[in-house]
């Protein structure tokens, strides 16, 4: 008996799901608005977290302010020293003490002869009477000087070299003056100018080195603070990453926190510098006036203030970026 088999049924072809329409690409204005909203959220949320912990924030900002204020104060001190020593650095006069036996007429004749030299700009004659009157006025021993029977001071010639000021450029003139037998002593401040230039150069190098050292300290303080903040929010960060948040979105509040730390530390440093200037301005001016000098004590230059603000913000941002990036790589 033959059994007729039915042919196998062909399965109906599966219906392909309809293609979903591609979402339109957001416009440039929408992308810019989203970017602005994200950064505004990071800026305000980071500031809010700093306000929630006032004691820890104040301690961190104070440490940063002290670290940034030290090179700022050193730079202000160098500016005042540079202003005070400006006249000394440019002074090139050669003070020539003649032999006590040389009279006023001979001194005038010597001065006239030296004025004819091409490397001499001017020669000023100071008689013994002028020197004694100046000494009586400045020394405060007018009564003791009045007891003297005669004037012990010699004639003095103040020689102003010609040409531009440069160390060692007056050597030939000084040698010619010292070779004159009528000269008893030659006093020249070239060595002092060289020492002063070396001191100023050393101070400037020290200011740069201290600025770099305390800048590194600022970087480390901000980095360690942000690292602890990232560790305390590890569970929150993990949830955000599971929901698809990018590293940039997670990192952004910490970067703004570092920015706030650096900026507030710079503000504290400026306040410390201004307070030190107000505290030392009058006593320092009185001290200089007691030695017969006159100096207007300068404060911190506006360019230095702006550089401190920009440098503090940049160091805070960089320290936060290094710390947050390293922590996010560990949790990835």
Q: pLDDT per residue over 142-200, tens digit each? A: 555 555 666 667 888 888 887 654 444 567 788 888 888 888 888 776 667 777 778 88
The answer, yes or no, to whether residue 220 has pLDDT greater than 80, is: yes
Left, alpha or beta for 131 (phi > 0: left; psi -120 to 50: alpha)? Answer: alpha
pLDDT value, residue 92: 66
Question: What is each CA distance from 98 to 34, 66, 132, 185, in whole angstroms?
Answer: 85, 56, 15, 7
Mean pLDDT over residues 314-328, rounded? Answer: 89
How far is CA 239 from its chain centroid?
44
- Highest average pLDDT, of 227-231, 248-252, 310-314, comes from 310-314
Tokens for 253? 């509040």
CA 135, 138, 143: angle at the middle one, nearest 5? Answer: 70
The answer, yes or no, to whether residue 264 has pLDDT greater than 90, is: yes
CB atoms within 10 A of CB 309: 18
b or e along 227-238 (b: 16 or more beta carbons within 10 Å of the residue's beta carbon)? bebbeebeeebe
**Is residue 304 within 8 Å of 73, Cβ to Cβ?**
no
Q: In which residue are the tokens 């990232």 written? A: 230
Element (H, E) at 290: helix 247-290
The answer, yes or no, to whether residue 313 has pLDDT greater than 60, is: yes
The Cα–Cα gap between 332 and 326 comes to 10
pLDDT value, residue 129: 77
Please report which confidence band the pLDDT of residue 268 belongs to, taking 50, 70 and 90 as the band edges.
very high
Tokens for 144? 């003791």
pLDDT value, residue 269: 94
pLDDT value, residue 133: 72
**Is residue 228 within 8 Å of 53, Cβ to Cβ?**
no
Mean pLDDT over residues 249-278, rounded? Answer: 90
**Is residue 310 within 8 Å of 262, Cβ to Cβ?**
no
Q: pLDDT per residue over 158-172, tens digit each? A: 888 876 544 445 677
The answer, yes or no, to whether residue 233 has pLDDT greater than 70, is: yes
pLDDT value, residue 122: 85
The answer, yes or no, to whether residue 97 has pLDDT greater than 50, is: yes
Average pLDDT, the chain: 79
pLDDT value, residue 22: 62
The answer, yes or no, to whether residue 310 has pLDDT greater than 60, is: yes
Domains of the chain: 39-87+195-331 (no CATH), 92-188 (3.30.70.3040)
Q: Which phi and psi angles does 179 have, rounded to 5°?
A: -75, -15
The answer, yes or no, to whether residue 17 has pLDDT greater than 90, is: no
The answer, yes or no, to whether residue 274 has pLDDT greater than 50, is: yes
3-state secondary structure of 21: coil
Higher pLDDT, 317 or 137: 317
Q: Of 38-42, 133-137, 203-207, which range is least confident? A: 133-137
Q: 225: buried, middle or exposed (CB in 10 Å: 19+, 13-18, 0-12)?
A: buried
pLDDT value, residue 86: 56
Please report which confidence band the pLDDT of residue 1 belongs to, taking 50, 70 and 90 as the band edges.
very low
């Amino acid at each position: 008996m033959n059994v007729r088999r039915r042919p196998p049924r062909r399965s109906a072809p599966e219906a392909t799901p309809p293609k979903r329409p591609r979402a339109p690409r957001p416009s440039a204005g929408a992308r810019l608005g989203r970017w602005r909203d994200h950064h505004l959220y990071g800026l305000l949320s980071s500031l809010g977290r700093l306000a929630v912990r006032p004691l820890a924030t104040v301690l961190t900002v104070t440490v940063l302010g002290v670290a940034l204020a030290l090179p700022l104060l050193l730079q202000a001190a160098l500016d005042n020293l540079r202003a005070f020593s400006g006249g000394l650095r440019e002074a090139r006069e050669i003070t020539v003490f003649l032999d006590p036996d040389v009279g006023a007429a001979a001194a005038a004749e010597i001065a006239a002869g030296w004025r004819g030299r091409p490397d001499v700009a001017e020669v000023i004659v100071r008689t013994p009477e002028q020197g004694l009157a100046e000494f009586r006025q400045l020394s405060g021993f007018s009564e003791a000087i009045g007891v003297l029977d005669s004037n012990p001071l010699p004639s003095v010639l103040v020689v102003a070299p010609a040409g531009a000021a440069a160390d060692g450029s007056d050597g030939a003139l000084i040698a010619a003056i010292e070779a004159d037998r009528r000269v008893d002593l030659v006093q020249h401040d070239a060595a002092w100018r060289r020492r002063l230039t070396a001191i100023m150069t050393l101070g400037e190098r020290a200011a740069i080195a201290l600025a770099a050292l305390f800048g590194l300290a600022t970087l480390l303080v901000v980095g360690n603070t942000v690292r602890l903040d990232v560790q305390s929010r590890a569970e929150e960060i993990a949830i955000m990453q599971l929901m698809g948040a990018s590293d940039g979105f997670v990192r952004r509040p910490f970067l703004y926190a570092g920015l706030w730390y650096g900026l507030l530390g710079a503000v504290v440093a400026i306040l410390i510098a201004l307070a030190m200037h107000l505290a030392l301005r009058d006593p320092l001016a009185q001290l200089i006036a007691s030695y017969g000098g006159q100096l207007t004590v300068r404060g911190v230059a506006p360019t230095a203030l702006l550089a401190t603000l920009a440098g503090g913000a940049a160091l805070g941002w960089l320290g936060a970026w290094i710390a947050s990036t390293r922590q996010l790589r560990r949790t990835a």
